Amino acid sequence: MAESHTAQAATDISTADPGLNVPEAGHEESVHGRIAEAATSSGGSKPPVSWSGLRPLLLRLHFYAGVVIGPFLLVAAITGLMYTATPQIEAVVYRHELKVTPHGEAEPLSAQVAAARKAVPEGTLFSVAPATGRTDSTRVVFDKPGLPDNYTQTAFVNPYSSEVLGQERTFAGWWLPVRAWVDGFHRHLNLGEFGRNYSEIAASWLWVEVLGGLALWLTAPRSRRRLRRVLVPQGGAKGRRHTMSWHATVGVWASIGLLGLSATGMTWSVHAGASIGKIQSALAGPTPAVSTTLPGRAAGKESASVPVKDVGIDAVVASAHAAGLRGVLDVTPPTKDQTTYVVKENTRSWPERHDTVAVDPATGKVTDRANWADYPLLAKMTNWGIDAHMGLLFGLANQIALALLAVALIGMILRGYRMWWLRRPTRTEGFVLGRAPARGAWRRLPGWFLAPAVLLTAMIGYYVPLFGLPLLAFLAVDLIIGARRRRRTERTEVAA
């Protein structure tokens, strides 16, 4: 009976909400100390795993990750918020190149390409994006010496007069300079490949912070109106209680969107993205792709693989239309490494269209086809997620949703730092920061639970290295701090 009362007391202490019921910073340490005493009072044996045992460990991880990873997440949220407005900015800044006034019938696409070639004589034709609507210009994309990797030179042509309206350096053949700069700022702070580590750290830890915060908030004890207090900030609360209530409830509402951003952000990251790509290929298999080798010809023969006769780009686009391709098209001409035209649908709004056909330049006939409908579900979900992350999938509504998520994340991070500030000891002279939650929670977990948990964490860290490496750094710093405090305590005891 005494043991049951002790266990119950430990449970009551450990499930107390550390944000809502702690009047002074540092009180958590005494709370968790009492948990340890209650857990070991019956002969030193470790209690069975329960949420009351896991909560202090999760609380410490959530705290440290929030403090250290918070700046990475804050920069990603601010630059992501900037990115959500780039379509409208582009429409204004480059209107004279993107839009035309319809008059009569459009000239042949071949004439438009010829005009672009004259405007960019040093460039090699890379692809052509015919005007989609009557007020859109045609984009003719060139490889050009001296451009950075993944950049091309794009000429914008009036389809009704073949007049070249202007040229811009574009990223991936599509993003104009404003969007390319903001996109680069969001992805790598415009620092190149090294800078991509920052956004990968943010994406690799965002899901950890979101899930950890949800677990802590949803399991906090509430005597009345439990659901309301989970979903609505607590009215009348002040100080740290008010800050935590807003921090947590906003996180609940934004959690699904933030988890989606984390997953899609890791998908195209450098390190985790490579692992995800391998897993996707193993589970779903390769995505369909067209063969660019003409029937009866061997690939790799440069001079023989490019036929002399060419029906022209107009006939190629007509064949693609006859094959059912619509919307935004991207036409790649034959090169020394491929013997057919390739026409791809690039409609990235809902419903997406990504069918691809290979067209014989000598006859204009479709020689091969890859259908979006045949893509594995996992590949489709990856495409949908990435396009939603970029604000393309649902147009303006998608942009607004992303902007709201960015604002929510910024607010949560700032409130998280405010909670840390409010945890500082108020009776100590000088500048001090809030204390971290109590150390040593993992030592109270039984080995049969701890070993698999460590193994799972190590596996995640292996496939998501910019989650694993910071976690190791947290542990190393924590061990060093703990060792220094023990030595300081021992010296104090000896001196006393």
What per-residue confidence (pLDDT) applies to 2?
Answer: 39
Cα–Cα distance measured from residue 465 to residue 282, given in angstroms and rounded to the nearest whole number: 20
Cα–Cα–Cα angle for 485, 437, 408, rounded to 5 degrees: 140
| CA distance to 217, 230, 241, 292, per residue, from 224 (Å) | 15, 11, 17, 66
Residue 127 sits at φ, ψ, to 5 deg, of -165, 165
CB hemisphere CA count around 312 (13 angstroms): 10
What per-residue confidence (pLDDT) applies to 222?
Answer: 66
**Which DSSP helix (H) or strand (E) runs through 205?**
helix 196-218
Task: Classify the phi-psi angles of 391: left when phi > 0, otherwise alpha if psi is within -120 to 50, otherwise beta.
Answer: left
Q: What CATH number has the domain spanning 302-374?
A: 3.10.450
What per-residue confidence (pLDDT) applies to 119?
Answer: 97
Residue 334 sits at φ, ψ, to 5 deg, of -65, 145
Residue 233's CB is within 10 A of a number of other CB atoms, namely 15
Please answer whether residues 172 and 83 qualify as being in contact, where contact means their C-beta atoms are separated by less than 8 angstroms: no
CATH 3.10.450: which residues of the chain?
Answer: 95-175, 302-374
Taking the alpha carbons at both ends of the chain, their separation in whole angstroms is 40
CATH topology of domain 95-175: Nuclear Transport Factor 2; Chain: A, (3.10.450)
Residue 58's CB is within 10 A of a number of other CB atoms, namely 18
Please list the rounded mean pLDDT of every run of 10 residues in the chain (496 residues): 39 37 38 41 50 84 93 98 97 97 96 98 97 97 94 98 97 92 96 94 97 92 69 82 93 97 94 87 83 72 58 97 96 85 96 96 96 93 94 96 98 95 72 70 83 94 95 88 84 77
Name the residue with tokens 């590949």.
Answer: 379
Q: If DSSP states are collapsed to H, E and C, what string results for 44-110?
A: CCCCCCCHHHHHHHHHHHHHHHHHHHHHHHHHHHHHHHHHHCHHHHHHHHCHHHHECCCCCCCCCHH
What per-residue confidence (pLDDT) applies to 448?
Answer: 87
**Which DSSP helix (H) or strand (E) runs through 168?**
strand 164-171
Q: 3-class SS at 366?
A: strand
What per-residue confidence (pLDDT) applies to 141?
Answer: 98
Residue 165 sits at φ, ψ, to 5 deg, of -80, -20
> In sequence order, what DSSP letters do the residues of 210-235 get, joined into one string?
HHHHHHHHHTS--SS-HHHHHHSPPT
Q: Which two tokens stand for residue 292?
A: 């660019």
Please answer whether residues 268 and 383 qualify as being in contact, where contact means their C-beta atoms are separated by less than 8 angstroms: no
The torsion defined by the Cα of 315, 319, 321 and 324, in degrees rounded to 10, comes to -170
